[in-house]
Amino acid sequence: MAPNLLSQLQKLVSPLEEGKVSSPLKILIVGVEVSPFANVGGFARVLGYLSRALKNMGHDVRIFMPKFGFLDEEKYKNEMVLEGLRIPDGGGGELICNVKKHVTPFGVTVYFLENKEYYEIRANVYGYRDDPVRWALLCRGALEFIRAQNWVPDIIHSNDWHTGITSNFLRVEYSKDTKLRNIAAVFTIHNLAFQGMYDHKNVSELDRDDGHSPIASLFSDRLGKQNFMRRGILYSDLINTVSDGYSREILTPDYGEGLDQLLLELRSKLTGIVNGLDYQEFNPATDKFIEANYDIDSLDLRYENKKKLQKEFGLPVDKTIPVIGVVGRLDPQKGHSMILEIMWHILKDFDTQLVVLGGGESDIASQYRSLKEAFPSKVGVHLMPDFTLPRLIFSGSDIMLFPSKFEPCGITQLEGMRYGTVPVARATGGLADTIQNYNPRTGEGYGFVFKNYDHWEFFAQLVRALEMYNQPNIWRTLVKRCMSQDFSWEGSARKYSQFYQRAQQVRLNQLVNEGVVTSRFGRGSGPLI
- Residue 324 has phi, psi (to 5 degrees) of -100, 130
Q: Tell me which H or E stretch contains 374.
A: helix 362-374
Strands of 184-189's sheet in order across: 79-88, 94-103, 109-114, 60-66, 26-30, 155-159, 184-189, 238-241, 270-272
- Per-residue pLDDT, averaged over 198-213, amounts to 87
Helix axis angle, 302-312 relative to 389-396, nearest 10°? Answer: 120
Q: Residue-wise over 381-392: b if at least 16 C-beta within 10 A, else e?
A: bbbebeeebbbb
Q: Is the pLDDT of residue 6 over 60?
A: no
- Residue 193 has phi, psi (to 5 degrees) of -70, -20
Q: How many angstroms separate the first and last alpha carbons of the chain?
A: 9
DSSP 357: E
Tell me the one-letter amino acid at 314.
G
Residue 137 CB partners (closer than 8 Å, separation 6+): 87, 95, 97, 113, 115, 118, 218
Residue 54 CB partners (closer than 8 Å, separation 6+): 27, 61, 493, 496, 497
CA atoms of 33 and 68, how far apart (whole Å) = 10
Instruction: Give a three-class secondary structure readout of 80-122.
Output: EEEEEEEEECCCCCEEEEEEEEEECCCCCEEEEEECHHHHHCC
Q: Is the pLDDT of residue 527 over 50?
A: no
Where does residue 100 fall: left (phi above 0), alpha (psi -120 to 50 degrees), or beta otherwise?
beta
- Per-residue pLDDT, averaged over 235-264, amounts to 96
Q: Distances in Å between the alpha carbon of 300 and those of 280, 318, 325, 458, 480?
A: 22, 14, 19, 29, 12
For residues 403 and 465, is the Cβ–Cβ distance under 8 A?
A: no
CA atoms of 28 and 145, how far apart (whole Å) = 11
Q: Predicted confidence band at 201 (pLDDT cuts at 50, 70, 90)?
A: confident
Q: Residue 506: which of 284, 183, 210 has the closest Cα? A: 183
DSSP string, 171-226: IIITTT-TTTTT-EEEEEES-TT--SSS-TTS--TTT---S-SPPPPTT-GGGGGS
- Per-residue pLDDT, averaged over 257-269, amounts to 96
Q: Is the pLDDT of residue 363 over 90?
A: yes
- Per-residue pLDDT, averaged over 155-162, amounts to 97
- Per-residue pLDDT, averaged over 308-332, amounts to 96
pLDDT at position 517, please? 56
Q: Is the pLDDT of residue 12 over 50?
A: no
β pairing state of 270-272 and 323-327:
unpaired
Q: Is the pLDDT of residue 24 over 80?
A: yes
pTM of the model: 0.89
Q: Is the pLDDT of residue 342 over 60?
A: yes
CA atoms of 93 and 126, how far apart (whole Å) = 25
Tell me the one-letter amino acid at 516.
V
Q: Predicted confidence band at 253 (pLDDT cuts at 50, 70, 90)?
A: very high
pLDDT at position 22, please? 65
DSSP 253: T
Q: Is the pLDDT of residue 32 over 70?
A: yes
Residues 166-177 have pLDDT tens digits of 999 999 999 999
pLDDT at position 18, please? 46
pLDDT at position 11, please? 45
Q: Predicted confidence band at 518 (pLDDT cuts at 50, 70, 90)?
A: low
Structural domains in the chain, sorted by start: 2-59+125-276+489-513 (3.40.50.2000), 299-484 (3.40.50.2000)
pLDDT at position 207, please? 84
Q: Is the pLDDT of residue 3 over 80?
A: no
CA atoms of 378 and 359, how far apart (whole Å) = 20
CA atoms of 180 and 174, how far apart (whole Å) = 7
CA atoms of 431 and 377, how far apart (whole Å) = 31
pLDDT at position 19, please? 56
Residues 86-124 have pLDDT tens digits of 999 999 999 999 999 999 999 999 999 999 999 999 989
For residues 327 and 389, is the Cβ–Cβ distance under 8 A?
A: no
What share of the chain in percent tops pLDDT 70? 93
DSSP 170: I
Q: Is the pLDDT of residue 8 over 90?
A: no
CA atoms of 100 and 91, how far apart (whole Å) = 26
Q: Distances in Å between the alpha carbon of 502 and those of 218, 230, 291, 376, 511?
A: 33, 21, 46, 55, 14
